[in-house]
Every structure is written in C-alpha cells, then in structure tokens.
Amino acid sequence: MPTPMIHFMREFFMVGGRKLSYLDFGGPGEPLLALHGHYNEASAFAPLAGALAPRWRVIALDQRGHGESDRAPGYERDDYVADVLALHRHLGVGPVPVLGHSLGGVNAYQFAARHPDEVSGLIVEDIGAVVDCDWSFTTRLPRTAPSRGALSRALGAAAPYLECSFRQSDRGWGFSFGIEDTVASQKALCGDHWDDWTALSCPALLVRGTRSDELTAGHARDMVARGGRRTRLVELPAGHVVHHDAPERFAAEVMAFLSGP
C-alpha cells in the first residue's frame, strides 16, 4: 500500500545562540519526537510520518550540525541530550514517545534515562548500549561534486541512504552536514552507555536489522535482558537503516508498540 502524501512545516528555535530546525509533519495525532542518525536529517522520517498519520504527529529534529540546524562547537553526549530537552520545552508537550535511529537512538535513550518524566515510550533503531564507531567512511566522502547525479554516483550503493542530505551550493553539490563535524560526533558517540540504558523506566522497543553491521544479535539480546520486563526486541530483514530498508514493516512495528498497553 503506497505511503500517503504528507505535508510538513519547517520550524526554528534558538538554543544558546544557535539555531535548531525541525520538521513538524502535523495532523491531529499525538506527538512523536524523531531523531535521525549521522549523514541524515529530519526529512529522512517523511515516509514514516506518512505511515503513522493520522494517529501520530511526527516531529523530527535536524540535530546539531545536520540539515538546517547550525553547526556547533561541540558534539558531546550532553550537548545532544540538551538539544532534545530544548526541543521538548519549546514544543510545550507533556510526556511523549521518542524514536531514534543510530546516533539518534543513543540520544533518545540517554534523554529518556536522564529525563524520565518527559518520555512515555522509546523506540531505538539499530544501535547498542556500547558503541564503537568507524569514521573511515566519513573521511572518504566526497567534499563536492559537479552535479547531484555525480554525487550519487560517487557514493554508489550508499547514495539512497544519504540523498535526503544532498545540498547544492556555489561550490557544487555536497551535504547538509560537515565532514569534520560528523567525525567529531562519531568519536563522541563511542563508548559504554550501559548506565543510561539500564536506567530506563519507560517501555522500550529495540529494532534491529538482521543484516546490521552496527548491532549484533547477541548485543541486542543482552540489551533486552538488561533493559527490564518492558523492553522487547524486534528483528527485521534490513541493514543498519531499518526504516529505509523495510519501511512498511518498521512502521507497523512502531505503530503496534505505540498502540500497546
């Protein structure tokens, strides 16, 4: 069944003198905050927003250094969590479910652990409680290309996963994120985050791609075992970007989780 067309509003707010942007996909539904991974931006969640509407109103943040949000002097763990809190306060919503992919998944569960009164449920897509990033792919990304097609060809099989971040400038085609910023963010993402994961008090859904090169089956099972009785695992036939590789099944699992007791 094709995903329905969905419109969105781009909004901005200020945090500490920096501009952050988010997409509000609108509608009458309950709000769901969505946090993208590295190389992406809020628009990556447009298909999911269409699939969840009208029951859920997806609000997706362009995280610092991505999309239309400003570059930042730092990309530490506390920085990202503070941005999510700032968005939550800006929106003026009560406890809401939060969904995050990869980088956004760690940001989501750290926000939920540190601000439990603001989160009613958690969906973490293909990222672990211990993260060991490899930023060699980032450093090999082309800085510019003469056309959108040339940039896509240079990326090869990775192009469909990054194309939402393609941008044209007076220097040619590149990305809405900075290479150096992304490396700094990936370095800061590395580490043992078990304390945050085991501190979760809300229901949590961990979604793993069976072909993931980021989250092993064993680590995912360990996360569920240590995450408490309200944590469960779903594995879908996909790589690391589950919402891209298996969009209908991913949306169905998210909807079922959000609609559960």
The pLDDT tens digits of the residues spanning 5-58 come to 567 899 999 998 999 999 999 999 999 999 999 999 999 999 999 999 999 999
What are the φ and ψ backbone dihedral angles of 21, each rounded to 5 degrees? -120, 150
Tell me the mean pLDDT in the region 218-224.
Answer: 98
Tens digits of residue pLDDT in 157-205: 999 999 999 999 999 999 999 999 999 999 999 999 999 999 999 999 9
The whole-number pLDDT of residue 8 equals: 87
Q: 3-state DSSP call for residue 228?
A: coil
Residue with tokens 């900075």: 178
Q: What percent of the chain has pLDDT over 70?
A: 97
What is the distance between the alpha carbons of residues 178 and 221, in angstroms, rounded to a whole number? Answer: 34
Question: What pairing do the DSSP bridges indicate for beta strands 231-236 and 204-209?
Answer: parallel
Question: What pairing do the DSSP bridges indicate for beta strands 18-24 and 9-15?
Answer: antiparallel
What is the distance between the alpha carbons of residues 240 and 103, in angstroms, rounded to a whole number? Answer: 12
Question: What pairing do the DSSP bridges indicate for beta strands 96-101 and 56-62?
Answer: unpaired
The whole-number pLDDT of residue 1 equals: 37
pLDDT score of 94 more than 60: yes
pLDDT score of 213 more than 50: yes
Tell me the mean pLDDT in the region 212-229.
Answer: 95
Local confidence band at 3 (pLDDT 50, 70, 90 cut-offs): very low
Tell me the mean pLDDT in the region 252-258.
Answer: 98
Q: Which of 22, 29, 51, 48 is nearest to 242 (CA)?
A: 48
CATH superfamily of 9-131+179-259: Alpha/Beta hydrolase fold, catalytic domain (3.40.50.1820)
Sign of CA dihedral 209, 210, 214, 218: positive
My answer on whether omega of the bond before 47 falls inside 30° of 0, hence cis, is no
Tens digits of residue pLDDT in 98-149: 999 999 999 999 999 999 999 999 999 999 999 999 999 999 999 999 999 9
CA dihedral 29, 12, 135, 144 (to 10 degrees): 120
Residue with tokens 């329905």: 4
